[in-house]
Amino acid sequence: MLRDHGLEAVFFDRYLWFTTQLFGYAALVLTPAVASYNFYLGGGARSDLDKLDRLGWTNLSTRNASHYWFYVALVLCFAAYVQAMIAQELQKALMMRSRIVADHATPGDTDYFIAVRGLPKHMRTENAIRAMCEKWHQHVRHVAMLRPSRKLGEVHKRRRQCVRAIERHESIFIATMLSRRKKDPAGFSTTLRKCLGERYSPSAIRLWAALDFTRHIVPDAYRSVSSLYEELLHLSRDLSRLSAESSESSPVSAIITVADYHIARELVQSSAYIDRMDMEMRCLGTCPSHIVVANVLRAPRASHIISEAVSLVRLALIVLWTIPMGATGVLNQLSSATSLLQEVSGLHLPPYTIGLLQGVVPQVASSFLMLVMVELLKILASWQHTLSIIDEQRSINSPYFLFLFSQLFFTTSMSSGLISTALNMLNRGLAQLPRTLAQNLPLAGTYYVAYLPLQAASGLALTVLRIRAVLAHAVRQSTWQSPRDKMANRASRYSDISWGVMYPLPTTITSIVVIYAPLSPLILPIAALSAAITRISYRYAMVYHASVTADTQGMLFFDSLYATFWGVSAMELAFIGLFMLKVNRQHLAQNVAQVSVLILTLYITLRFWTFLHRRFHRVIMNHATPVVSSDTSLKQDYSCLWSVYPGQPVRKKKEEHPIIHDGMIWIARDDFGISDAVVSTVRGRHFAAEHGGEGITNSYASVDSAGRLTVYDAQEEKREPTVAYGH
């Protein structure tokens, strides 16, 4: 049933199951281990043990530094456990998505792409390449003859920059030598020979220049002239070679598509003829032919500027929104500030009013602010240039996660003890602020121990209340209802789901539970139980109440797994800060080893985060997934919305684009080009109707290394680029 709503619905359910397993397995070991240690071996913490809170952490004795080694080992083991679970889940999820592709793809729906490089002159035709395939030529679907890459312009631009850098260096050197000649004419010859010997010898960059941040802005400013001349020589050779290749009328590369995996493998492995002709053949990848992946699109420069401006506005909005959200947290502490308000202003509030303000108003205000934030993020996402529905939902998911993470972790951790923090600051001064915050951080774990069951219970209660609506709908629906009434009832029953709004809340809760797990291990079983209840509510809602019109193909699931590293890193940073602030200064030398181990753990976490991103990101982005829903609107969202507008930005409303219901054939991102099927489909469905059969050809289309598609009009003599857009 979940698969009928698209692939992301399946992966969201998998994410809830992953969090249940993550916290459930950790609760079996972590919670009893910390409780037993604090109860039997905690020393000064035993008398102040609070089973529902920090389990003795805030009052742990600092006179014996050996107590802290337990928490160092605890953080190290828990961080390794979470990272291992994330890596394992990434591999399982990719295998699951590949299995779904295999289950829904038929032999006629799949293309396998083979790239051929280094074609000799007599092999640069489609018939010659088909003849090269010998006995497999009848299985070859398309042969895309590709023109030389666009590297020629990049090399020419880099050579021009290198020449300008050399001219700038030489002009400064000549001016310096002339000034030295005026100051010391007698010793100028010796100085000149010495400077020339140092100048044109391969020497390293000076230390101060290497540390200067401006070298990233002007990279050639601190390079030696000898290295610039050497690069200029190589660039000149590359420019000559590429110019000779571009002057040829026939292409030098091609892409072959076949319909069977075994044939593609045998074709690549039978390299005797390829080796004899000094050519290169390799497999690019495979994908169902009815799948469209927006990976060969290019946005105009103005759209990139607008996107950067929208990103800055989004970041400023997240930062500024902490002020009203923090103010709602202050209302929770109103009872603590009642006596202070009465002394200052003489205002006497009845207990009923205080309870109302403290209980109802903060929840209503925070819910309203979060709703407004979601709508603002949707508006900003519509302004930003997005190439597909996946990009649009990701542009909502990432900032909304940062907003929730900053509000639920930082703002809540501070505002939960804001009144006591303010009183301590008034009594002790601002110097005690870091230590006060370090003491309030573990105290906030109690808030989340109560928040998670409440969140799960509210979702379950909403699910129970919806049962009545389902039964009423079944009773009302009868044979005498008109089709229009049935459609109206169905529209009122089903609510549209936006995955960019669905994922951030469970992702934020997962990160926060990871942060507070060593501080308050009781949160782990509660989080596991809450995730299980949320999963039940989600499954019921997807079956009876929800509808999906924009599937994101599981991309947000992988983004949420990567976002869990924010929680692991914040946990390690929090413990480093607690160790630095809570240890007495006279005993700080005894805890240097513990802090060093935590810093090393944080470094390993960041490196492992980068490693997983490099290993899986390209596979995740380039791996297409099938349409798993029979809903017409979902199929239209997966369909390619191609159009060609010379020099004009993409239109905002996707209804204005000509919809091609037959999907395009997709290839991996590289420097080769696009397949014949893409060009023939665009020409047959769009250009043939509007331009009388005139359209683009594959010899005038190319894809660069960044995955940007450039289409040239075949009738233009200047071949000025025309950009193809899609969603």
Average pLDDT, integer, range 235-258: 67
Enumerate long-range contacts of 24-30, CB under 8 Å, 24 or more apart.
24/524, 24/525, 24/528, 26/78, 26/81, 26/517, 26/524, 27/521, 27/524, 27/525, 27/528, 30/74, 30/78, 30/517, 30/518, 30/521, 30/524
Same domain, 191 and 265: no
- pLDDT, residue 485, reads 56
Average pLDDT, integer, range 643-648: 30
Retrieve residue 219's tokens. 């990279």
Same domain, 616 and 508: yes
646, pLDDT greater than 50? no
Contact 113, 677 (CB under 8 A): no
721, β-bridge pairs = 712
- pLDDT, residue 417, reads 52
> Does residue 323 belong to any structural domain of this protein?
no
Those residues with Cβ within 8 angstroms of residue 480's Cβ, 6 or more apart along the chain or in another chain: none
Burial of 548 by CB count in 10 Å (0-12 exposed, 13-18 middle, 19+ buried)? buried
The values of phi and psi at residue 141, to 5°, are -85, -55
- pLDDT tens by residue, 10-64: 888 899 999 999 999 998 888 787 777 766 665 444 333 333 334 344 433 334 4
**What's the whole-model pTM score?**
0.59
469 or 217: which carries more pLDDT confidence?
A: 469
The values of phi and psi at residue 354, to 5°, are -65, -45
Nearest of 2, 17, 14 to residue 94 by alpha carbon:
14
Same domain, 232 and 273: no
User: Which of 46-50, 77-81, 100-104, 510-514 shows the lowest per-residue confidence on average (mean pLDDT)?
Assistant: 46-50
The percentage of residues in the chain with a pLDDT greater than 90, rounded to a whole number, is: 3
- pLDDT, residue 29, reads 86
How many CA atoms lie within 13 Å of 602's alpha carbon, on the beta-carbon side? 17
Write the Ramachandran bin of 254: left for phi over 0, alpha for psi from -120 to 50, otherwise beta.
beta
Average pLDDT, integer, range 99-120: 64
Residue 585 is which amino acid? Answer: R
In 3-state terms, what secondary structure has residue 287? strand
Q: Which helix (H) or strand (E) holds 503?
A: none
> Does residue 206 belong to any structural domain of this protein?
yes
Same domain, 574 and 650: no
115, β-bridge pairs = 255, 282
Q: pLDDT confidence of 637, banded at 50, 70, 90? A: very low
Measured between alpha carbons, how far apart are the two ends of the chain, in Å?
A: 27
230, pLDDT greater than 80? no
> Does residue 389 belong to any structural domain of this protein?
yes
- pLDDT tens by residue, 425-457: 566 655 566 666 666 666 677 777 777 887 788
Average pLDDT, integer, range 545-563: 79
C-alpha dist (Å) from residue 96 to 352, 353, 609, 611: 55, 54, 22, 21
329, pLDDT greater than 70? no
Q: Choose one of 262, 278, 294: the last residue of a domain.
A: 278
Please list the alpha-helical segments (H only) found in 477-591. Answer: 483-493, 499-502, 504-516, 523-544, 555-582
Average pLDDT, integer, range 332-348: 54
- pLDDT tens by residue, 677-721: 444 444 444 333 333 333 333 333 443 333 344 444 333 333 333
Same domain, 92 and 129: no
Those residues with Cβ within 8 angstroms of residue 453's Cβ, 6 or more apart along the chain or in another chain: 526, 529, 530
User: Which of 3-7, 424-428, 649-653 shows the lowest per-residue confidence on average (mean pLDDT)?
Assistant: 649-653
Average pLDDT, integer, range 240-246: 67
**Which residues constitute the domain of residue 199?**
151-246
- pLDDT, residue 105, reads 54
- pLDDT, residue 18, reads 93
Same domain, 396 and 458: yes
> Does residue 303 belong to any structural domain of this protein?
no
Same domain, 27 and 164: no
77 or 393: which carries more pLDDT confidence?
A: 77
Those residues with Cβ within 8 angstroms of residue 332's Cβ, 6 or more apart along the chain or in another chain: 358, 362, 415, 416
How many CA atoms lie within 13 Å of 605's alpha carbon, on the beta-carbon side? 28
Mean pLDDT value across the chain: 65
- pLDDT, residue 82, reads 92
Q: Choose one of 589, 622, 655: the last residue of a domain.
A: 622
Same domain, 16 and 40: yes
Same domain, 415 and 503: yes
C-alpha dist (Å) from residue 64 to 42, 101, 163, 595: 10, 58, 65, 15
Q: pLDDT confidence of 240, banded at 50, 70, 90? A: confident
- pLDDT tens by residue, 150-203: 566 677 777 777 777 776 676 667 767 777 777 777 777 777 777 766 665 544
> Does residue 341 belong to any structural domain of this protein?
no
In 3-state terms, what secondary structure has residue 120? coil
Contact 387, 297 (CB under 8 A): yes
Q: pLDDT confidence of 81, banded at 50, 70, 90? A: very high
- pLDDT, residue 57, reads 44
316, pLDDT greater than 70? yes
Same domain, 216 and 252: no
Contact 143, 129 (CB under 8 A): yes
- pLDDT, residue 163, reads 76
Retrieve residue 362's tokens. 């903060």
Q: How many CB atoms lie within 10 A of CB 118?
A: 13
Same domain, 644 and 517: no
> Does residue 293 belong to any structural domain of this protein?
no
> Does residue 218 belong to any structural domain of this protein?
yes
Nearest of 91, 93, 84 to residue 15 by alpha carbon:
93
- pLDDT, residue 551, reads 72
Q: Choose one of 587, 622, 657: the last residue of a domain.
A: 622
Q: Which helix (H) or strand (E) holds 116?
A: strand 110-117
465 or 633: which carries more pLDDT confidence?
A: 465
Retrieve residue 432's tokens. 């005690």
Question: Total structural domains in the chain?
Answer: 4
> Does residue 444 belong to any structural domain of this protein?
yes
Same domain, 74 and 50: yes
Q: Which of the given ranges, 39-48, 207-216, 363-372, 486-495, has the highest pLDDT on average?
A: 363-372
In 3-state terms, what secondary structure has residue 258? strand
